[in-house]
Structure 1
């Protein structure tokens, strides 16, 4: 696949994520999305048990701001001191910072209250889009993207994608299970973060190609 085609696909994915986010955001106060949210909440919370609750609390803790900062800093140190990557380090830090800022801006724009049905933990702040979901998608997608080329085997790469997807899905699901987010908050968070991530990848790859071209032309 040519670099130009790759750039086009990534850019199209970014625009698709943005369009889907706008669609979800436009429906969060509608009757259809309320039915959708309720059906998903009923199914997930219907699985409640002490063991599952403990499991979900672990993942919601992993997705907390404190843990996201710790994991991001640990990954940044690994990128800089072990892999000696400066550009990748900048990508990760900018991605995580931008995601956090955008999440707060969106929350204060939509001002959606959290569900008040069956909460197993207490949370403050607005609901849409989910900060845990946005941060999880941004962090684990970025790590998968940055570490991909350092894994030679097909099995290792598949394991990386599966682990990243598992973390993203479990953190998002934990927020629904614990009663602090609507499913549409989670999907909205994934889509908003997906837009940010694919746009960042497009810019990152474009800059690398531009820098390589500039070196060759000298």
Structure 2
């Protein structure tokens, strides 16, 4: 039986997005593995040092470039990747999904974010890379350095929330806006960690890669579960729902 034209177009679109998602996940995992290998061999040390020193005033490593106002702004941005803010953001999206009647999707989001947090802790424990001691730290830190937990969890949380919210939107431009905004927040958080001297640049790059791989892997899993009726289906551009 031939599908109606709008449903057929939506199905083709979802299949194309699935293929793109697989490519993104594979590329992000490859990027993380490559960074981890280079880090373990010590090949990233010169790059890491050069970037950290470039962000400090010549002759005074305790003074980041840009002045006190930029340093305060970076501390504010780094908080966006902290447990408190990420928990509040996740809770807000969970409530939104529940109010829309998407209880299965809400539970899925909660499991996805918690799973990403567990992966971040495991990766830090596995690599146990010391924090940078080249420059003074701009904020207090206690855990290992690789990968950057703030960078990874910002990517995991914001991208996962954006993907799940985008599934409820009918307008393509709003979907794009949500994904771009999530990516921008993750970039700002990671950049702030390097600026404040609490992470090597390679820590942040690895955190972004692993976080993006997890988030887009979650998106693929959500699509698979929706096709099987386990969570609420994605809404199409005109409000239509693709066949299972």
- TM beyond 0.5: yes
Q: How far is the alpha carbon of 1:57 from its aligned partner?
A: 0.6
1:62 CA drift (Å): 2.1
Match of 1:111 in 2: 128
The one of 157, 171, 177 aligned to 1:139: 157
Among candidates 32, 45, 65, match of residue 21 of structure 1: 32
Deviation at 1:100, TM superposition (A): 0.7
Alignment match, 1:89: 106
Distance 1:207 1:151, change over 3 A: closer
Work out the CA distance in 2 between the residues paired with 1:16 and 1:154.
24
Give the corresponding residue for 2:18: 7
Counterpart secondary structure, 1:29: helix
Q: Does 1:121 align with 2:139?
A: yes
Q: Report if aligned partners of 2:49, 2:134 keep a CA contact under 8 Å in 1.
A: no
Structure 1 residue 6: Cα displacement:
3.2
Kindly state the Cα deviation for residue 68 of structure 1 after the two structures are TM-superposed. Answer: 1.2
The unaligned stretches of length 5 or more in structure 2 are 1-11, 58-64, 231-242
Q: Distance in 2 between matches of 1:12 and 1:176?
A: 28
Q: Following TM superposition, by how much is the alpha carbon of 1:2 offset from its aligned partner in structure 2, in angstroms?
A: 4.9
Deviates more, 1:119-128 or 1:27-36: 27-36
Cα offset, 1:142, TM superposition: 1.4
Q: Which structure shows the bigger proportion of residues in helix conformation?
A: 1
Q: How many residues align?
A: 214
Larger radius of gyration: 2
Specify whether residues 22 and 55 from structure 1 end up closer, same or farther in structure 2 by C-alpha distance, changes over 3 A only.
same
- The answer to which structure, 1 or 2, has the higher relative contact order (CA under 8 A, 6+ apart) is 1
Using the alignment, how far apart are the partners of 2:147 and 2:20 within structure 1?
Answer: 25
- In the alignment, structure 1 residue 100 sits paired with structure 2 residue 111: no
Segments of 4+ in structure 1 off by > 4 A?
149-155
Cα deviation code 1:49-89 (max 9, x no counterpart): 111111011111221112211221122111112x2212321
Mapping of residues 131-170 of structure 1, within 5 Å: 131-153=149-171, 155-170=173-188
Matches within 5 A, 1:33-112: 33-46=44-57, 47-81=65-99, 83-112=100-129
Deviations 1:150-206 (A, max 9, x none): 445555444333322221111111111111111111111111112211221111101
